[in-house]
Structure 1
Amino acid sequence: MTNTTIETHNLDQYGSAALQWTRAQDLLARESASKDVPFFLNTVRPDGRPHSVGIGAVWFENALYFVSGPGTRKSRNLAENPACTVSVRLTGMDLVLEGDARRITDESTLDRIAARYREAGWPAEREGAAFTAPYTAPSGGPPPWYVYRISLCAAHAVATTEPGGATRWTFS
């Protein structure tokens, strides 16, 4: 999110200050890639119906990345329409990220993301423009797995611990 303008909208109706985007980023950096933190990707099927599935995601270099087999419903949906949301419950914050998911094929970027996943305990390796590993999530499809990056356009958060609040951020 280099050179990004962030507009903050306080949604709290009880007088709490707007949440800081850095609070969400810090939580994402600390808690993503954990098997104990549930991320849910929401895409749109070609007929317009929603599709939601759990994913393993990692916040890295100020962006959210995830993997998916090319034949999975989520990958097929993203090939038709990259618009998506990702929902996650972090410590003290429920967060929804909105944006477009695009496949990453740059080998040096893939190498850095694979290293981040390995640090978190998943033994991902780059093979060409995708990842392989001895295992992945049951819904990931067979290897190789594509790597996607979400370009954020907005995010919403509700604090579940003090300091409380509800905030929407837009990114341009």
Structure 2
Amino acid sequence: MTNSTAKTRNLDQYGNAALQWTTARDLLDKESATVNVPFFLNTVRPDGRPHSVGIGAIWFEDTLYFVSGPGTRKSRNLAENPACTISVRLTGLDLVLEGDAHRVTDESTLDKIAARYREESGWPAERDGQAFTAPYTAPSGGPPPWYLYRVALRAAHAVATVAPGGATRWEFS
């Protein structure tokens, strides 16, 4: 889905080369499943005010997934307006992903992502119909069941936090 970019824009004001999307993608693949990588989801409330909350996200097969209880503010916001950003600090890279988050109900995908959560992060998610259950989740996740969301990326931008530096925006087709 995001293997190729339609447009790369170098934002660096100091002459550094544009960062490569493959670097960001590979870091997401390697680091997203660890419990030490904090992701922050930003949505818009119905009255237009922003809402930001930490989430447990998984990057799998070039797609970002996360879970949320149906009654949580983030799920209610996404039901009204799927536009969102997700921010994450990866090794050597601060990354912001922009896109639309939609609920996943396909049981095959739910099974694959539940397995990924179990194997990579240790969260014992199981598919229960078109949602997940587990003995526990994040304190702000709401009670089970939890919905799985897939983020359809429109753009991303990153700032390197190590030498030689760089800042880049990518737009996806």
Task: Tell me the TM-score range normalised by the shorter chain.
Answer: over 0.9
Q: Does 1:140 align with 2:151?
A: no
How far the C-alpha of 1:35 sits from its partner, in A, is 1.5
Give deviations 1:107-152, integer Å, cap 9, x for gaps: 0011000111011211110000000011100000000000000000
Aligned to 2:130: 129
Partner SS, residue 157 of structure 2: strand
Flag structure 1 segments of 5+ consecutive residues without an equivalent. Answer: none
Would you say 1:72 and 2:72 are equivalent positions?
A: yes
Deviations 1:34-73 (A, max 9, x none): 2211100000000000000000000001010000000000
Residue in structure 1 matched with residue 84 of structure 2 by the alignment: 84
Distance 1:163 1:78 in 2: 37
Cα distance, 1:2 vs structure 2: 6.1
* Count of aligned pairs between the two proteins: 172
Distance 1:106 1:14 in 2: 46
Partner of 2:55: 55
In structure 2, stretches of 5+ residues that fail to align are none
Residue 111 of structure 1 is matched in structure 2 by 111
Deviation at 1:106, TM superposition (A): 0.3
How big is the shift at 1:157?
Answer: 0.0
TM-score, with structure 1 as normaliser: 0.97
Q: Sequence identity of aligned pairs in percent?
A: 83
Question: Considering only aligned residues, what root-mean-square deviation do their CA atoms show, in Å?
Answer: 1.1
Q: Which letter maps to 1:141?
A: G
Q: Secondary structure at the match of 1:122?
A: coil
Q: Distance in 2 between matches of 1:110 and 1:123?
A: 13
What's the TM-score once normalised by structure 2's chain length? Answer: 0.97
**Partners of 2:142 and 2:6 in 1: CA distance:** 36
Aligned-residue offset at 1:7 = 1.1
Displacement of 1:33 in angstroms is: 2.2
Report the Cα offset of residue 163 of structure 1: 3.2
Amino acid at match of 1:41: L
Paired letter, 1:165: G
Q: Which residue is equivalent to 2:30?
A: 30
Amino acid in the other structure paired with 2:20? Q
Q: 1:91 to 1:118 in 2, by over 3 A?
A: same
Structure 1: distance between partners of 2:160 and 2:5: 23
